[in-house]
Chains A and B, each alone.
Chain A
Amino acid sequence: MILVKDNRCDFCGTCVAICPVDAIELREADISIIHDTCIDCDLCIWVCPIDVLSSDISLDEKKEEVSND
């Protein structure tokens, strides 16, 4: 799950532009991840200019998930 670190988002929309599944809602001062749609690709985490986004899944867990699929 992609997490937004509290009170640090600048609401710039870089993550929205990269999201391949349109899973981020962004208003003037409000951001939310649509978890049902999110595919945990982590691209938003990479492009965020101030590292506000993080994942609660470690890379090892992800690999495990993929191998179990």
Chain B
Amino acid sequence: MTDFDVIVVGGGPAGSTAAEAAARAGAKTLILEKDRDIGYPVRCGEGVGAKGLKHFMEPDPQWIAATISKVCMRSPDNTRVEFGMQDAGYILHRRLFDYALANRAGNAGAEIQTRCYVDGLIVEDDAVKGVKYQYMGEHRQLTSKIVIAADGVESRVGRMAGLRTATKLRDLDSGYQVTVGNVDIDQEMIDFFVGSNWAPGGYLWIFPKGDGMANIGLAINGQEAKDHNAHDYAHKFLNDHFPKASILTSVCGGIPIAQTLKTITKAGLMLTGDAARMVNPVTGGGIITGMVGGRIAGEVAAQAIQKGDLTPNGFKDYSTRWQKAEGKTHAGLHRIQDAIFDINDEQLNKMAHRLAKVPAEKLSLFKVFSAVARNKPSILLDVTRAFAGI
């Protein structure tokens, strides 16, 4: 007899969605959150696609900060390429969104505890049988049939079980973001700045948050991060472009842009969300993909417990279903990201000059990324798979 069927480490979107799915399928489920608060601090640009969100819930005005219908891409010389999006997007209030997701997990029957720092695993015969954690300085442990590690970019739980989750420099972006007020921006448009002057190896974003507010952030690729730091780039941009902005929040964070880990399961353990490297490697967006992974993990965990097979064989469906849902697209996005990485500032400017002459109604994300594919035709199929129709 174990304390719980499923223990989920981490109360972000992936963890809460996993817990909700497991609890709905009848598993006795617990979420352990490290921080005192679910959903805070918000280390995230907070953008999601409407289509992706719809698979999980209807948008609630309480946690929608802005609705996006346009996108603008800027080259290093600040040439604007602006067009409408066929699929609308939202900028969330993650603090409230994460609360709503955790609340859904709770309503489905999952228990939730904050201030619980998981610092070890209970392992018997190379199978994970529970977690060791600290609560208010006290060492505790709980047994479970399955642990779902949704512990974010750090992904330490997987490492505790012997999985190789540490990222390479190339596969980790170093990010910094401010939420600002008093900025005069189009509240229906997301703005991307690509080039080494804005953010070496990554990009800078402006995401509207309603009421004259915005998330302004950037990510520098790990390989470029030795000589550049994200904080300085963000503040230079603010000084140059929004000197009167009031800074309401500033956070930093790491964005894993690796391919999804080859091994995301072990006896008694499943990895999901950022911890399994499910983030979109082109955009750095990981909310919806994390929820997709989390839901599958929760469902498969509950099934495995019902079948009584807690070996990786019992979890086979997890990898298979992830591959089917997102895996192929994700691998393609990683190849696209690779191609973008090879494009220098001069090429980006040329591309932007050409695209800027195309009427906005004829442009789309697909068109823009097709221009990228000119440099590397081998990614054309990946571009079609990832961007056709959005």
Contacts and interface: CB of A to CB of B under 8 A. Distances in A.
B216 interface: no
A39 interface: no
A26 B153 CA distance: 12
Contacts of A3: none
B253 A14 contact: yes
Given A14-B153, A14-B252, A46-B226, A28 B167 contact: no
A27 B34 contact: yes
Interface string B119-161: 1000000000000000000000000000000001111100100
Interface stretch (B168-176, B261-269, B303-311): B168-176
23 contacts: A10-B251, A10-B252, A12-B251, A14-B172, A14-B175, A14-B252, A16-B153, A17-B166, A18-B166, A18-B172, A18-B254, A20-B166, A22-B156, A26-B154, A27-B117, A28-B34, A46-B222, A46-B225, A46-B226, A49-B175, A49-B230, A50-B230, A51-B229
Contacts of A46: 169, 222, 225-226
Interface of B: 34-36, 43, 115, 117, 119, 152-156, 159, 166-167, 169, 172, 174-176, 220, 222, 225-226, 229-231, 251-254, 256
Contacts of A1: none
A10 B152 CA distance: 16
Given A16-B156, A18-B222, A22-B156, A43 B252 contact: no
Nearest first, the 10 closest Cβ-Cβ pairs linking A and B are A14-B254, A49-B252, A49-B230, A16-B154, A13-B154, A46-B226, A50-B231, A12-B253, A49-B176, A12-B252
A49 to B, nearest CB: 4
Nearest to B217: A49
Interface in A30-64: 43, 46-51
Contacts of B166: 17-20, 22
Contacts of A43: 169
B151 to A, nearest CB: 9
A52 B251 CA distance: 13
B154 A28 contact: no
Nearest to B224: A46
A37 B134 CA distance: 21
A1 to B, nearest CB: 19
Contacts of B230: 49-50
Nearest to B43: A12
Contacts of A49: 174-176, 220, 229-231, 252-254
